[in-house]
Amino acid sequence: MERTYVMVKPDGVQRGLVGEILSRIEKRGLKLAALRMNVMDEAIAKEHYKEHSERPFFASLVEYVTSGPSVSMVVEGKDSIKIMRAVNGATNPVEAVPGTIRGDFSIETGRNVVHASDAPESAEREIALHFEESEITGYTRIDEGQLYE
Ligand code: IDP
């Protein structure tokens, strides 16, 4: 099983979308392995988005993700990284198709509601940045026998 790091960003929390987003993830068949709400520390946010540190939007991006509580999670399942990227939709909501979280609930790239790791290396790095291994649970969903061939 593959793990990925997913976040409901502060705009998603303040717009009351946490339940909707968790529901979409669960209904898809992915497993919530860890879940937490907190205000992300500025140093953690800078580390999380370090690949964008030279970009003009870096300061406003760090300000955005630390501006209020966000919901961090570890999501688990076969191909969870690619599936969560598809569930979230394109980075720019203008290009995000309806049916995706960004395509249904957002307008601008700078307020695009959700994050999900984009590759196995970033998933591993982001999970380790935001969670202790002891916070990540292990259990069986009762529908796993039907979700997987
Ligand atoms: P991703 O979130 O879909 O992985 P990235 O290109 O890694 O997309 O960008 C990370 C985040 O940085 C985006 O989700 C968005 O919040 C923000 N961002 C990216 N490009 C821009 C921009 O041009 N203006 C403002 N914010 C941006």
Instruction: Output the pLDDT for position 90.
Output: 98
18, HSE (Cβ side, Cα atoms, 13 Å): 14
User: Is 149 inside a domain boundary?
Assistant: no
Q: List the structure tokens of 110.
A: 């700078």
User: Is 144 inside a domain boundary?
Assistant: no
Query: Using one digit for the tens of pLDDT, what is the confidence trace for 28-62?
Result: 999 999 999 999 999 999 999 999 999 999 999 99
**Mean local confidence (pLDDT), 116-144:** 98
User: Is 88 inside a domain boundary?
Assistant: yes
User: Is 146 inside a domain boundary?
Assistant: no
Pocket, ligand 1, Cβ cutoff 6 A: 57, 61, 91, 109-110, 112, 115, 118
pTM over 0.95: yes
Instruction: Output the pLDDT for position 62.
Output: 98
DSSP string across 120-143? HHHHHHHHHHH--GGG------TT
Instruction: Output the pLDDT for position 85.
Output: 98
What is the CA(135)–ligand 1 centre distance, in A? 27
What is the CA(109)–ligand 1 centre distance, in A? 6
* Cα→Cα distances 112→17, 61, 82, 89, 138, Å: 12, 11, 18, 10, 30
Instruction: Output the pLDDT for position 92.
Output: 98
Complex ipTM tops 0.90: yes
Q: What is the CATH number of the domain that holds 133?
A: 3.30.70.141
Instruction: Output the pLDDT for position 37.
Output: 98
User: Is 9 inside a domain boundary?
Assistant: yes
Confidence of residue 142 (pLDDT cuts 50, 70, 90): very high
User: Is 126 inside a domain boundary?
Assistant: yes
Instruction: Output the pLDDT for position 113.
Output: 98
Confidence of residue 134 (pLDDT cuts 50, 70, 90): very high
User: Is 143 inside a domain boundary?
Assistant: no
What is the CA(33)–ligand 1 centre distance, in A? 25
Instruction: Output the pLDDT for position 58.
Output: 98
**Does 115 qualify as catalytic in the annotation?**
yes
Pocket test for ligand 1, best of 53, 112, 114, 126 (most atoms within 8 A of CB): 112
User: Is 84 inside a domain boundary?
Assistant: yes
Instruction: Output the pLDDT for position 108.
Output: 98
Say how many domains are in the chain: 1
How far apart, in whole angstroms, are the C-alpha atoms of residue 80 and residue 106?
22
Amino acid at 145: G
Give the residue from 49, 58, 69 showing the smallest Cα distance to 5. Answer: 49
Query: Using one digit for the tens of pLDDT, what is the confidence trace for 56-91?
Result: 999 999 999 999 999 999 999 999 999 999 999 999
Enclosing domain of residue 63 = 2-138
Query: Does 57 count as an annotated binding residue?
Result: yes
Ligand 1 atom closest to the Cα of residue 88 is 3
